[in-house]
Chains A and B, each alone.
Chain A
Amino acid sequence: MDYWLPLIFVSLMGLSLLLYIILDGYDLGIGILLPLASDDEKDRMIETIGPFWDANETWIVLGIGILLIAFPSAHGMILTHLYIPVTLMLFGLILRGVAFDFRVKVTAEYKSLWNKLFFVGSLLAAMSQGWMLGSYVMGLESGLTSIAFSIAIALSLPAFYVVLGCGWLFIKSSGEIYTKAAKWARTAILPMGVGLFLISIATPIASSTIAAKWFTLPAAIGLLPIPLMTGVAYFTALWVLSKEEILKAGYGWIVFVCMVVMCLMMALGLAYSIFPDIVIGKLDIWESASSTASLEFALIGTVIAVPMILFYTAFIYKIFYGKSQPLSYE
């Protein structure tokens, strides 16, 4: 158990953070797109995420929660190092989270202020998360390479979220917004692709540990499906977006699926690069793990609760299935 428990928890943590990137990714993406839409369209766009965003955001609380439960010393090391981006992300999530409510409840004169804050919050959260991811992958170093790398991800992640958000709009909206989403996605997907490509190239150059893991035979052959699948997903999305008739026929959801596949592949790649460390080059998962008694206790709850959470999350998505309706309390 001493060996397996940290493995189980690190997998759960990875799964939570992956779900977070996909789920909160699409709603942050829609938040970033908000200034491009008309006032009426802003309402329609937010309707597509209204019932979901709070639960989506909870996945990062669980992910960071597992880091705290299972790997307390890594939790301290990572969050202390990422003090500034974490604080900025929290400011962003605070503004975005309350803007959902304020924008529809304040007097008309303040609505546009809260729409702007909704956008600012979403962008700030997305960029800070990119910064955090970048400096985490760089093993929490503070050198120039690390900073340049972090900035690159801080700029790419919002573009990634934007395309995810457009994918979500394809699923949940119709008419003018659907058409606009196609336009936005076409604009964002190119810089996103370039950004991801550069980051993939830069990672092994910046980190010799990661390079050694990827470019040795036979591992390199076994790993080939990861970049291949990512590429296939990217070009499929690109192709679908370029074909007006496919989009018009209602197949925009393929873009969302492609983005999810890309997330999954990149997560696998990242997991392979990092494992078995929890802070690259500094701390591995067994060194930083909590005591077995604590992990066992946490595991009992997890085994019971996570399937329930997945079940009722599916239930909520089923209730709000299909093109979104105007949000009304009554």
Chain B
Amino acid sequence: MELDPFILSRIQFAANISFHILFPSISIGLCWLLVFFRLRFTLTGNKDWEYAYFFWVKVFALTFALGVVSGITMSFQFGTNWPGFMERVGNIAGPLLGYEVLTAFFLEASFLGIMLYGKNLVSNRVHLISSFLVAIGTTTSAFWILSLNSWMHTPAGFTIENGVFMVDDWMEIIFNPSFKYRFIHTVTASLLTSAFFVAGISAWRARKNVDGPATWKVLRTGVVLAAIVAPIQIFVGDLHGLVALENQPAKIAAVEGIWETEKGAPLTLFGFPDEEARTTHFAIEVPKLASIILTHHVDGEIKGLNEFEDAHPPVAPLFWSFRVMVGMGFLMLAVAWWGSYALFRNKVGPWLLRALSWMTFAGWVASLAGWYVTEIGRQPWVVQGYIRASEVVADHAGGMVLSTLIGYLLLYAFLLVFYILTLMHMSSKPARSLKESIDFAAPKANTPKPTATLGAV
């Protein structure tokens, strides 16, 4: 069998970035939750918030470490497997990545030390500020890397000289057409992912009877945050889709399974796209709805895949990923609203706890599916409309790339198993606040008791 280094390099890149994104998609949001916990403790003096902080900061440390090491791998991959990319667009991509290192990586790596181990060495204020700076760092990191990623989808602000991209206007490059939407969509996704993550683990703790008042404060925070963020996310996602329609019509045509350009296109809810036969089998369609959603006209024209022969992404992966993402989004919305209602009514039943703990990693599923939509949707281009991925790959022996690919896959599978096992182990220890409430049954005078009834469920 002929080993194609191009295909193997792509699989390796996809494996690396899929593994990597799991961790920032939790840690960006989780870090802001930690700032919130710390702030609540500082303002109310309620120890529960401090316990919440110290439980979740451990989870954050582990998640963050996995994100860091897999992120370093990404920065080397550009050079080891895709040298042509930097040779062609280095003038643009280089400084954006450089700014990420300079403004984000050092900030988060440095203040993480204080955040984790500095509590007794610095004042509460410095500790709070350190947590805040780490949160700023993680978000700044997302800002730069998403700016570059967006530029690859909607390139702007450059000229080309002898095949090399030259800078024309930095503001146009950084704030390229899809950046604003992608940045908000990704940060919101992280908030939603981490909200379900903390709520799910807290619910799991409640089911295992190792929960204390702090567990319930976290669960409430997660559910309410998810209930607020989920609808915003759906709305932002829709705006993001409209930008894609304008700049990357082939992506939308594949997502919607529109084979031929048509006016008044139907929305395909479900079906089995078949690229060979250029049709969607057993399609369940709503007439004219795709045109209404995408163009806001009943008879709006949507370009079909026929317009992009040899330059459109593979249809089935996009079609399915998109439906998984949207389906997961609405499921999260439903569970978050149900949960908020139940919490509001003070009637949390076992089914809600079950649903929440099953959905601990719901954000991962939606985020991965979302990234597959956007990244596979850019294929065969690496810079939309200008550079094909096949033009920039390194000329390695297929066997060598295969061996490193297998190495990465084994390593990542091993780490993922340990990550989940470790989370389970950490969450099955009795909550500190639970022990406190047993050991020191007499509460302090100012201890608020809104969660007391919930804790008894």
Q: Which residues of A approach B to under 8 Å, CB–CB?
A: 50-52, 54-55, 57-58, 60-62, 64-66, 68-70, 72-73, 75-80, 82-84, 86-87, 90-91, 93-95, 97-98, 100-102, 105-107, 110, 290-291, 293-294, 297-298, 301-302, 305-306, 309, 312-313, 316, 319-320, 325, 327-330
Contacts and interface: CB of A to CB of B under 8 A. Distances in A.
A100 B404 contact: no
B69 A93 contact: yes
Nearest to B63: A101
A210 to B, nearest CB: 25
B110 interface: yes
B112 A94 contact: no
Contacts of B97: 65, 68-69
B119 A330 contact: yes
Nearest to B166: A291
The binding surface of chain A is classed by DSSP as helix
Interface stretch (B54-62, B298-306, B314-322, B345-353): B54-62
Contact of A61 (B62, B101, B122, B425): B101
Contacts of A50: 113, 116-117
A320 B110 contact: no
A87 B75 contact: no
Contacts of A316: 110-111, 113-114
A70 B411 contact: no
A308 B407 CA distance: 38
Contacts of B418: 102, 106, 110
B259 interface: no
B80 interface: yes
Interface stretch (B81-89, B207-215, B283-291, B380-388): B81-89
A297 B62 contact: no
Interface in B68-105: 68-70, 72-73, 75-76, 78-80, 83-84, 86-87, 90-95, 97-99, 101-103, 105
Given A80-B396, A90-B76, A319-B122, 6 more contacts: A54-B65, A68-B98, A98-B62, A291-B164, A302-B102, A329-B54
19 contacts: A55-B110, A55-B113, A69-B98, A76-B83, A80-B80, A94-B70, A98-B65, A102-B62, A102-B422, A105-B422, A291-B166, A293-B166, A294-B91, A297-B170, A301-B102, A302-B98, A313-B106, A319-B122, A329-B58
Could you say which of A79, A91, A95 has the most chain B C-beta atoms within 10 Å of its C-beta? A79
A68 B94 CA distance: 6
Nearest to B98: A69
A78 B79 contact: yes
B81 to A, nearest CB: 8
A312 B119 CA distance: 17
A301 B103 contact: yes
B451 to A, nearest CB: 22
Contacts of A319: 113-114, 118, 121-122
A94 B411 CA distance: 9
B117 to A, nearest CB: 5
Nearest to A66: B98
Question: Nearest 9 A-B pairs (CB), nearest first?
Answer: A76-B83, A72-B90, A79-B79, A51-B113, A69-B94, A305-B102, A54-B109, A97-B69, A72-B86
A64 B86 CA distance: 13
Contacts of A72: 86-87, 90-91, 94
A299 B304 CA distance: 45
B425 A106 contact: yes
B61 A101 contact: yes
A276 B290 CA distance: 59
A298 B95 contact: yes
B457 interface: no
A98 B69 contact: yes
Nearest to B116: A329
Nearest to B407: A91
A58 B98 CA distance: 12
A64 B76 contact: yes
A106 B394 CA distance: 39
A54 B114 CA distance: 12
A146 to B, nearest CB: 18
A79 B396 CA distance: 12
A226 B119 CA distance: 44
Could you say which of B58, B62, B86, B98 has the most chain A C-beta atoms within 10 Å of its C-beta? B98
Contacts of B65: 54, 97-98, 100-101
